Chains A and B, each alone.
Chain A
Amino acid sequence: MGHTNGPENRNPRGLMVGQSLGRVNDAVLIREAQGGNRTAFEELVRQYDQAVLRLALHLTGSESDAQDIYQEAFLKAYRNLGSFRFECSFYTWIYRIVTNLCLDLLRKRSVRKEDAPVVTDSSGEEYSLLDQVADDRSGASPERDLMRRELGARIAKALTKLTPRERMVFEMKHYQGLKLRTIGEILNTTEETAKNTLFRATQKLRAALADMR
Chain B
Amino acid sequence: MNCEWVKENVTLYLYNELADDARHEMEQHCQRCVDCSGELESVRQFQTKMTALPQLEVSPNLLALSRVRLSEALESEVQATGWKRFVFDPTSWFRQFKFSPALAMLVFMVGFGGGIGTMYRYAGTNPIPVPSGVPEQHPEQEASIASIQNIQVDPTSNQVEIKYNKTFPETRRGNINDPVVQKLLLYAARNNYNSGVRMDSVDLLTKDASSQDVREALTYSLRYDNNPGVRLKALEGLSSAVRDDVRVRNAVLDALLNDSNPGVRLGALHALEPARADTSVRQALRQLAKEDPNDSIRTQSRRVLATMPEID
Interface check A81, CB cutoff 8 A: yes
Interface check B49, CB cutoff 8 A: yes
Q: Which residue in A54, A180, A185 is a CB contact (below 8 Å) of B57?
A: A54
Count of inter-chain pairs, beta carbons less than 8 A: 179
Q: Which residue in A16, A132, A202 is a CB contact (below 8 Å) of B257?
A: A16
Indicate if the CB atoms of B82 and A34 lie closer than 8 Å: yes
Interface check B250, CB cutoff 8 A: yes
Indicate if the CB atoms of B46 and A206 lie closer than 8 Å: yes
Which residues from chain B contact A185 at a C-beta distance below 8 Å?
Answer: 246, 250
Interface check A71, CB cutoff 8 A: yes
The proximity string for A residues 68-102 relative to B, scoring 1 for CB distances below 8 Å and 0 otherwise, is 00110011001111110111100000000000000
Indicate if the CB atoms of B58 and A53 lie closer than 8 Å: yes
Indicate if the CB atoms of B219 and A11 lie closer than 8 Å: no
CB-nearest residue of chain A to B199: A2
Which residues from chain B contact A3 at a C-beta distance below 8 Å?
Answer: 190, 224-226
Which residues from chain A contact B46 at a C-beta distance below 8 Å?
Answer: 202, 205-206, 209
Indicate if the CB atoms of A86 and B220 lie closer than 8 Å: yes
The proximity string for B residues 17-51 relative to A, scoring 1 for CB distances below 8 Å and 0 otherwise, is 10000000000000000000000001100110110
Indicate if the CB atoms of A198 and B11 lie closer than 8 Å: yes
Q: Closest CB-CB distance, B45 to chain A, in whole Å?
A: 8
Interface check A105, CB cutoff 8 A: no
Indicate if the CB atoms of B54 and A2 lie closer than 8 Å: no
Which residues from chain A contact B52 at a C-beta distance below 8 Å?
Answer: 133, 148, 151-152, 155
Indicate if the CB atoms of A191 and B279 lie closer than 8 Å: yes
Which residues from chain B contact A151 at a C-beta distance below 8 Å?
Answer: 49, 52-53
Indicate if the CB atoms of B58 and A75 lie closer than 8 Å: no
Interface check B81, CB cutoff 8 A: yes
**Which residues of chain B in 121-136 are interfacial with respect to chain A, using CB atoms and an 8 Å cutoff?**
none
Interface check B89, CB cutoff 8 A: no
Contact of A49 with B49 at beta-carbon distance under 8 Å, contacts A79-B80, A82-B81, A195-B17 already known? no
The proximity string for A residues 6-49 relative to B, scoring 1 for CB distances below 8 Å and 0 otherwise, is 10111101001000100000010000001110100110011001
Q: Closest CB-CB distance, B256 to chain A, in whole Å?
A: 10
Indicate if the CB atoms of A9 and B193 lie closer than 8 Å: no
B71-79, B101-109, B154-162, B300-308 - interface stretch: B71-79
Interface check B69, CB cutoff 8 A: yes
Q: Which of B79, B84, B190 has the most CB of A within 10 A?
A: B79
Indicate if the CB atoms of A67 and B62 lie closer than 8 Å: yes
Which residues from chain A contact B84 at a C-beta distance below 8 Å?
Answer: 82
Number of interface residues of B (CB under 8 A): 64
Q: Which residue in B56, B192, B193, B223 is a CB contact (below 8 Å) of A61?
A: B56
* Cα–Cα, bound, A57→B56 (Å): 7
Indicate if the CB atoms of B194 and A45 lie closer than 8 Å: no
CB-nearest residue of chain A to B59: A63
* Cα–Cα, bound, A119→B100 (Å): 51
* Cα–Cα, bound, A34→B120 (Å): 22
Indicate if the CB atoms of A152 and B258 lie closer than 8 Å: no
**Which residues of chain B in 236-251 are interfacial with respect to chain A, using CB atoms and an 8 Å cutoff?**
246-247, 250-251
Indicate if the CB atoms of B56 and A9 lie closer than 8 Å: no
Interface check A163, CB cutoff 8 A: no
Which residues from chain B contact A80 at a C-beta distance below 8 Å?
Answer: 80
The proximity string for A residues 132-174 relative to B, scoring 1 for CB distances below 8 Å and 0 otherwise, is 1100000000000000100110011001000000000000011
Interface check B8, CB cutoff 8 A: yes
Q: Closest CB-CB distance, B39 to chain A, in whole Å?
A: 10
Q: Closest CB-CB distance, A19 to chain B, in whole Å?
A: 8
Contact of A58 with B70 at beta-carbon distance under 8 Å, contacts A9-B260, A34-B82, A87-B216 already known? no
In order of increasing CB-CB distance, the 7 nearest A-B pairs are A82-B81, A151-B52, A155-B53, A132-B54, A85-B216, A152-B53, A152-B52
Could you list some 5 contacts between A and B, CB below 8 A? A6-B226, A9-B225, A57-B57, A82-B81, A198-B11
Beyond known contacts A42-B71, A151-B53, A152-B54: 17 more, CB 8 A cutoff = A2-B198, A2-B225, A11-B258, A13-B258, A36-B81, A45-B70, A46-B67, A57-B58, A58-B55, A61-B56, A86-B220, A151-B49, A155-B53, A185-B250, A191-B280, A198-B11, A198-B15
A residues contacting B by CB (< 8 A) are 1-6, 8-11, 13, 16, 20, 27, 34-36, 38, 41-42, 45-46, 49-50, 53-54, 57-58, 61, 63, 66-67, 70-71, 74-75, 78-83, 85-88, 119, 122, 129, 132-133, 148, 151-152, 155-156, 159, 173-175, 179-181, 185, 190-191, 195, 198-199, 202, 205-206, 209, 212
